[in-house]
Each structure stands twice: as structure tokens, then as C-alpha cells.
A and B are shown apart, each in its own frame.
Chain A
Amino acid sequence: MAIRDRLSGNEAVAVAMKQINPDVVAAFPITPSTEVPQYFSSFVSDGKVDTEFVPVESEHSAMSACIGAQAAGARTITATSANGLALMWEMLYIAASSRLPVTLAVVNRALSGPINIHNDHSDSMGARDSGWIQLYGETNQEAYDNLIQAIRIGEHPDVMLPVMCCYDGFITSHAVENIELVEDEKVKEFVGDYKPEHYLNNAANPVAMGPLDLQNHYFEHKRQQAEAMKNAKKVILEIAAEYEKLTGRKYGLFEEYKMDDAEVAVVVINSTAGTAKYVVDQLREKGVKAGLIKIRVYRPFPVEEIAAALSKCKAVAVMDKADSFNAAGGPLFTDITSALYGRVDGVKVINYIYGLGGRDVKTDDIEVVYNELLEIVKTGQVKSVYNYLGVRE
């Protein structure tokens, strides 16, 4: 039986880490992710886990320590936000290219500057090409479930890539909500032991990690890394199916909410999806064929599946909680329109940048978006492709 509880997102993730009982956690505090290593360190000092906890002096060092530990053969987890993730940047690429399945909880926060502690997705969106798998979660429940599944996804022999599990700062990380926890022993059984094929602490089969890799092999290694990301899509679904058997909770590459006959749809990431679902329900009561897609797996990006899911819509709004400053549209918008190109014709797609720096996203704001989509369906005209929601201009 699942354990009914109420926890904040950060508590839920710390509990997942306790149940996973990793070999090493190396972390440096930064709002709003600080509570994750804080709660976890109390599990360490209370003897509830066997983990070696490494309090480092920066996020660059946190990720470096994780890479070193994982290379040695240890299962390793850390957490960060915003500028902490930015300081890890160099090491993110090294973790991915060294094919080390480190797990990272990213508590999404606006990247400075101007300095701001609140939620948007500018931190993890910037890391979208770092070679990490990116999972996003709407609620404390999804943050918890994603972290447990991430261990299996990253360590799968066909993948061997690091995974970041992202959830919204404060909105999810600090709000207390209902959650269903899995029993300790079931999580332990689900994640199993970490048994890498190659690792530094293996005297029987000594290997070098991170050596110079020049013109004769670098390109082949990057090609293999790209293949691993392609493989991840299948593995993510396999692990999700196994997790569903354990918990009854169904996970995919993205969630389709009332999409079967939807004419207008919003594509969104993280907590705003919940607010938008409420609006979809209200529109449905009025007979409006509204739907929603919530992205769970952003890297690898499910291009074929997204194109198929949106193919029957007349108008779609893609919501980005980060701007790309490319004078063209946000990161998710660029990926969605690329996915549709050559696969689906005639769907009108617009983009909204919203909620930057923690600007609250109300149901009224989401209604504005659906109303604009209905106007596009009615007139056949798109007035503006690249838009901002809830900003003073």
C-alpha cells in the first residue's frame, strides 16, 4: 500500500534520496534547492542512509565531486538551482560526455541578473544542450517519482547519461501538498544496485577516465553520446511502465490532458500545467474543445510523438518560462515548431513567454491564451507569433 503523506517538493525529493540511499551526495546550498541537501544531511547524521555526504565549497566542486565519485563506481546525487547550475556548466558537459549517470535535482529558479530567487526555467533551459536527460515535474508527486525513475534511466546500459529532474522553485519546492510515497523496500528493489561496466575502483579492469581525445576519436565519441540520447526515449518509457506496475501512476514522454478531440491546445512545462488544467476543465464545461500537453521529457525531445499529438489541433500556444533572446521565440517554441515542420501542416502555433522571475501565473492569464487561440481558429489569422503574457509594456 502506498503511504499517504503531505510534503513540500523539496521534502519529497529528499525522501526519495533517502530511499534510494546513494553512495555519494556532494552539494552546495542555493535557494530554493537548499532544503534538499539540508534534509538529506540530517538523514546522513541520523544514520538513516549509508551515504558519504561531501559538503563542498561551490557548485562547480559539487558537480566535480559527483563526477569523480560516479567515475569511481559510486551512485551519486546532487541538487541545485539557478546560478548554482550555471556554475556547474563546465562540469555538466563533462559528466555527460564521460557517460556518467549522475542524478541532479534542479529546483528551477530565474538565472541572474537582475538577481531574483523566484521561479522560471531560465536555469535548466540553458542546459538543454549539455547532454543531460531532462525530466520535468508538475507537482511534489512528480518530482518524487521522476527522481526515483531517473536512477534507472541514467544507469541503463543503452543510455549511461546523467539526468536532471526539474521542478518549480517555491511553487513546488516549498508548497506542502498531498503525496503518495512508495515503501522504502520497494524503492530499494526498484532502483537496485549500481553496477557499471567500467569504473575506476576496479583493479581487475583498470581504465582511464577523461583523457585527451583529439581528431581521431572525439567525433566518434560525440556520435555515441548522441545515440545514447536517442536510446533514452525507449528506456524512459520502459522504466515508466515498470514504475506504473509498482505505483499505478502512469508516466510518458509528455502528458496529454483532454487532447482526444482538442481543437486548441497549450503546451506547457511544470506547475503551470496544473493551473492550465483547471482552465481546460472550465472551457470544456462551456463546450470548448480545449486540451493541454505537459512536457515531461524535454531531453531527449519527443519530436515524432509531439507532432502526432498536435496534428489534429487547429491552433496551439507554446508556453515558455524562459526567453531565448533570439528575437524569434522561446526554447520550447523553437523545438515544437521544428517538430511539426515537415510532419504536420496547417497547425497555427504561437508562443508566450510567461512568469519570468516568479511573476504569478493565474487562471485568468491562461484564459487569455485560450481566448487568443479561439480567435485564431475563428478568423484564421495569427496577429502575433512571439508574445509575452502578464508583463507591463
Chain B
Amino acid sequence: MSKVVEIRWHGRGGQGAKTASLLLADAAFNTGKYIQGFPEYGPERMGAPITAYNRISDERITVHSNIYEPDYVVVVDETLLGSVDVTAGLKEDGAIIINTQKSPDEIRPKLKGYKGKVCTVDARTISIDALGRYFPNTPMLAAVVKVSGVMDEDAFVKDMEESFAHKFASKPQVIEGNMKALKRALTEVKGL
């Protein structure tokens, strides 16, 4: 049985964690993988904690439960660290990727003794510099691709360019900003 890479996203309603999980599924699909991308639905409220998931594999995936022992966890909003048990079940040989201005060493004490790899990326600064607004999901998407290595970086960048061109066909001005945010995040992940 080939290895299935399992990723869990933690974000807040409105930050685009669900969209990021679907974009990741799309990008992995385009490299020939079998994919799942699904959010855990609840009452939808802006700012409420939400969870989304990805499974990525070379073989067909049949499991249809949520993910309890992820290889990677992405935290789109740092303020969740106090209220959501983000490292629950996270594999020690995996990694957690957090959107924060802090360094991995500064943030580790908040992770309940998690011993695996801790990576950070300042998605807020990247997003505001590139887009003029706070959309943390694009930088976080790039960061998880970088850390997990689920696909080739160049293929990912190329695929996202096409994907944004399609998604933002009616507002092409945001394509360049998103691509800038994506590329910068790939180079600015700390703790690798």
C-alpha cells in the first residue's frame, strides 16, 4: 500500500482555509495524484474555527472519515493556538506550519510539547505587501507545498498561475499579487 499524505487545515471562517485545501487538491490532481479535499462543515460564521482536510496519494483513496493522525497541520490563524488542539494526533515525523511573525523556536512553547518539525511563515506581511489586503491562504498553500514536498515546486507554481488565471478571469489585477505572494512564501518558510 502506498503512502497517503494527510493534511489538516485549521483556520477561521472567511480566511480561505477551505479554498486553500481545494486549491491544493487541484494542484496535486494536476500532477496526476489521487486527491481528496473536504472541509468539516458546521454552522458557517465569519471568524469561527474551521477545519479542512486533504488526502493525497498515488493510489485510489477509499477512506472517507476525517483525518485524526495527519502528516502535516496548517494553522492559518495564530490565535487558534490557545483554543484549538492543533497538534492533536499530528505525527512526530511530520510538521506543523503556522502563519505567524514569530520564529519556530518562539512559537514551539505554545504547541503542547509537540516534538516534530515546526515551520512558520509570515503570511500576513506577505499578503499585505503583495495584495494590499490580508488573504493568508495563498501564502499558506505555498508553505505547505514547500514543507510537505507533495509536489514539484515549479509544477505547483505553473499550475497555480493557470488556476488563478481561470479563477480570477473577471479580475486579472489580483493574479499578479497572488502569484507574488505564492512565490515569496515558498522562499520565506522558516524551520525547514
Q: Chain A: residues with CB nearer than 8 A to chain B?
A: 6, 32, 117-118, 168, 170-172, 174-178, 271-272, 274-275, 277-278, 281, 360-363
Contact = CB atoms under 8 A, between A and B. Distances in A.
A6 B29 contact: yes
B29 A274 contact: no
B34 to A, nearest CB: 5
B65 A361 contact: yes
Nearest to A178: B34
B64 A274 contact: yes
Interface of B: 1, 22, 25-26, 29, 34-39, 41, 60-66, 68
B52 to A, nearest CB: 10
A176 B41 contact: no
Nearest to A32: B41
Contact of B64 (A117, A178, A272, A281): A272
| Residue in B22, B39, B63, B66 whose Cβ sees the most chain A Cβ within 10 Å | B63
B102 to A, nearest CB: 33
A275 B62 contact: yes
Given A6-B29, A118-B41, A170-B41, A176 B64 contact: no
Contact of B35 (A176, A278, A363): A176
Contacts of A171: 38, 64
Given A6-B25, A6-B29, A281-B1, A117 B63 contact: no
A102 B65 CA distance: 32
Nearest to B60: A178
Given A6-B25, A281-B1, A174 B63 contact: no
Nearest to B21: A176
29 contacts: A6-B26, A6-B29, A32-B41, A170-B38, A170-B41, A171-B38, A171-B64, A172-B64, A174-B38, A174-B39, A175-B36, A175-B38, A176-B22, A176-B25, A176-B26, A177-B36, A177-B37, A178-B29, A178-B60, A274-B63, A275-B63, A275-B64, A278-B62, A281-B1, A360-B65, A360-B66, A361-B65, A362-B66, A363-B63
Given A6-B29, A175-B36, A176-B35, A271 B41 contact: no
A168 B68 CA distance: 20
Contacts of A117: 41
A176 B35 CA distance: 8
Contacts of B37: 175-177
A275 B65 contact: yes
A42 B35 CA distance: 26
Nearest to A271: B64
Given A174-B38, A175-B37, 4 more contacts: A6-B26, A176-B26, A281-B1, A360-B66
A43 B176 CA distance: 30
Contacts of A275: 62-65
A175 B1 CA distance: 23
